[in-house]
């Protein structure tokens, strides 16, 4: 069976996985052929596995295009790119963002170590600045700054907004992020909201330059019903506040010192 007719089993052979991770251009403008593929006998009889160089590249990574070829999904993927993926926010996307009360945010540091987080607020807490820019506020939190720390090293960001209540649909927004202090952003966009939830004021904002915006279909999105949210913010009970729900406090950590600096005390 030739490599361009591989069955879509969902599990790539080692040679194909090696190919997915080998996306360095060669001097002649092609792509490196991994040794594993050469040993696999897939070269030179497997040109369909390689991504053509286009004057206007398709959305997505080289890896996803390579695996689309390997698993025979290229036509379906191309139809999705052509029908659903934009490089900006259209009016329907802007309206959708304007009524969302939460967003899932994915970031990674310079090494590629990932973090995903939830941001929430009243409707409109995510501000659409124009067709290619949006921003969301960062409030005082636990001081870890995991998402912001990642962005400071690696600007790439992925956002997923989901309507669990009415339309059962989602919107992906991928792009590049930067951190802007509240006063600095207000100097550029004085119409930023001044009233916030509970009430809180942003310390800074994450401004996202949109590179991809596309739908997340409703097939597996569960319907949820909003309820009144009562939080035990005034209690000292850490369990009720949710601060140590998973009872992690006091458990050993690899970064804790096992003995004092300079040896043990006597």
Q: Secondary structure of the chain in the HEC alphabet? A: CCHHHCCCCCCCCHHHHHHHCCCCECCCCCECCCHHHHHHCCCCCCHHHCCCCCCCCCCCCHHHHHHHHHHCCHHHHHHHHHHHCECCCCHHHHHHHHCCCEEEEEEECCCCCEEEEEEECCCCCCEEEECCEEEEEECCCCCCCHHHHHHHHCCEEEEEEEECCCCCEEEEEEEEEEEEEHHHHHHHCCCCCCCCCCCCCCCEEEEEEEEEEEEECCCCCCCCCCCCCCCCCCCCCHHHHCCCCCCCCCCCCCCCCCCCCCCCCC
Residue 245: the pLDDT is 82
Q: Report yes or no: 179 and 161 within 8 Å, Cβ to Cβ.
A: no
Same domain for 95 and 212: yes
Q: Is residue 189 part of a domain?
A: yes
Q: Is residue 227 part of a domain?
A: no
Same domain for 164 and 66: no
Give the list of residues 6+ apart from residue 214 with CB closer than 8 angstroms, or none. 59, 80, 84, 85, 86, 171, 172
Residue 247: the pLDDT is 86
Residue 193: the pLDDT is 82
User: 116: domain CATH number?
Assistant: 2.30.110.10
Q: Is residue 258 part of a domain?
A: no
**Number of domains within the chain:** 2
Q: Is residue 228 part of a domain?
A: no
Compute CA distances 144 → 91, 148, 251, whole Å. 35, 9, 19
| End residue of a domain, out of 41, 67, 84 | 84
Q: What is the mean pLDDT of residues 219-237?
A: 78
Same domain for 163 and 129: yes
Q: Is residue 181 part of a domain?
A: yes
Same domain for 110 and 206: yes
Q: Is residue 31 part of a domain?
A: yes
Residue 159 pairs in a beta bridge with 105, 173
**pLDDT, tens only, 57-91:** 899 999 999 999 999 999 999 999 999 999 999 99
Q: Which residues span the domain enclosing 41?
A: 3-84
Residue 49: the pLDDT is 37
Phi-psi region of 145 (alpha: psi -120 to 50; beta: other; left: phi over 0): left
| End residue of a domain, out of 64, 84, 104 | 84
Which pTM does this prediction carry? 0.73
Q: Is residue 77 part of a domain?
A: yes
Residue 150: the pLDDT is 97
More confident residue, 107 or 37: 107
* Whether residue 6 has pLDDT greater than 80: no
Residue 21: the pLDDT is 42
**pLDDT, tens only, 132-181:** 999 999 998 889 999 999 999 999 999 999 999 999 999 999 999 999 99
Same domain for 147 and 32: no
Same domain for 146 and 36: no
Same domain for 174 and 144: yes
Of the candidate ranges 68-72, 108-112, 258-262, the one whose mean pLDDT is the lowest: 258-262
**pLDDT, tens only, 37-57:** 444 444 444 333 334 444 568
More confident residue, 219 or 232: 219
Q: Is residue 222 part of a domain?
A: no
Same domain for 161 and 47: no
Same domain for 212 and 111: yes
Q: Which band of pLDDT confidence, cut at 50, 70 and 90, is reported for residue 256?
A: confident
Same domain for 112 and 205: yes
> Cα 251 to chain center, whole Å?
30
Same domain for 124 and 100: yes
Same domain for 199 and 104: yes
């Amino acid at each position: 069976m030739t490599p361009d007719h591989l069955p879509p089993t969902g599990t790539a052979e080692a040679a194909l996985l090696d190919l997915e991770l080998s996306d360095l251009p060669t001097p002649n403008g092609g792509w490196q052929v991994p040794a594993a593929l050469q040993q696999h006998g897939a070269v030179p009889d497997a040109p369909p596995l390689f991504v053509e160089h286009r004057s206007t590249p398709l959305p997505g990574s080289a890896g996803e295009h390579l695996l689309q070829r390997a698993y025979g999904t290229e036509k379906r993927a191309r139809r999705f790119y052509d029908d659903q993926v934009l490089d900006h926010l259209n009016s329907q996307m802007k309206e959708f963002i304007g009524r969302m009360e939460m967003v899932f945010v994915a970031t990674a540091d310079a090494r590629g170590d990932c973090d995903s987080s939830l941001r929430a607020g009243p409707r409109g807490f995510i501000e659409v600045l124009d067709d290619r820019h949006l921003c969301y506020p960062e409030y005082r939190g636990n001081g870890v700054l995991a998402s912001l720390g990642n962005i400071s090293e690696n600007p790439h960001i992925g956002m997923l907004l989901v309507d669990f209540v009415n339309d059962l649909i989602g919107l992906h927004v991928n792009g590049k992020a930067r951190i802007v202090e509240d006063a600095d952003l207000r100097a550029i966009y004085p119409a930023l909201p001044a009233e916030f939830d509970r009430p809180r004021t942003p310390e800074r904002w994450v401004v996202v330059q949109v590179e991809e915006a596309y739908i997340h279909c409703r097939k597996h999105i569960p319907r949820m019903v909003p309820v009144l949210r009562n939080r035990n913010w005034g209690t000292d009970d850490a369990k009720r506040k949710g601060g140590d729900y998973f009872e992690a406090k006091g458990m050993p950590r690899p970064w804790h010192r096992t003995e004092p600096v300079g040896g043990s005390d006597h």
